A = this chain, B = another copy of it.
């Protein structure tokens, strides 16, 4: 009987997952804001009201998508590696750009406010906050401290990805500048570390 409960819960999760996948597909095709419950339901062979068994509202469905996307980004960034702090930062930023440009729709949901009336729940939003804090730590591990340099780096990479997605979706005209951007940044802000090393 406990087995039955488990089985039911698993099937339920599976259906919920199928619904979310259908929502992503439609959002990629027609745009995030153009999502309708009718279309999502039709895509999994249901009618719109049936979705309310899985999500209490449309915005809760957006929130589940947001959480999925944010978790995916966090996982991608956690996979960063390198022999030293600078290499790990470089890898992390490359992964960031790669993740953002791989799926503009996903990027828009997480980083832009492109769905009128939707804001992520505190819980879902926290996933992105944690990822940002980890990036801040990676920057500091590379010897760069202070809000200003960090926010400048953040702005630079935000700008590159958003130009990429707005003007050349699917391409890499701006994405390939990630390394160059980091070099420019390190040229200016990593000098303390190098000078200190040289001086010592």
A134 interface residue (CB < 8 Å to B): no
Q: Which of these, B158, B188, B199, contacts A163 with CB under 8 Å?
A: B158
Q: Which residues of B contact A154 (CB under 8 A)?
A: 159, 163
Copies in the complex: 2
Q: Which of these, B33, B116, B157, B185, contacts A184 with CB under 8 Å?
A: B185
The reply to whether A163 and B174 form a contact with Cβ atoms under 8 Å apart is no
The reply to whether A177 and B163 form a contact with Cβ atoms under 8 Å apart is no
Q: Which of these, B151, B162, B188, contacts A158 with CB under 8 Å?
A: B162
Complex: how many Å from CA A24 to CA B180? 39
A80 interface residue (CB < 8 Å to B): no
Complex: how many Å from CA A155 to CA B184? 13
Report A143-160 residues with CB < 8 Å from chain B CB: 148, 151-152, 154-160
Q: Which residues of B contact A34 (CB under 8 A)?
A: 116
The range of chain A's interface size is 20 to 34
The reply to whether B177 and A155 form a contact with Cβ atoms under 8 Å apart is yes
Known: A183-B199, A199-B183. A155 touches B160 (CB 8 A): yes
Q: Which residues of B contact A184 (CB under 8 A)?
A: 152, 184-185, 187-189
Report A1-47 residues with CB < 8 Å from chain B CB: 31, 33-34
Q: Which residues of B contact A193 (CB under 8 A)?
A: none
A50 interface residue (CB < 8 Å to B): no
Q: Annotate A154-185 by CB proximity to B: 1 below 8 A, 0 otherwise.
A: 11111110110010000001100100110111
Q: Annotate A55-90 by CB proximity to B: 1 below 8 A, 0 otherwise.
A: 000000000000000000000000000000000000
A-B contacts, 5 of them at CB < 8 A, read A112-B114, A155-B181, A158-B159, A184-B185, A187-B188
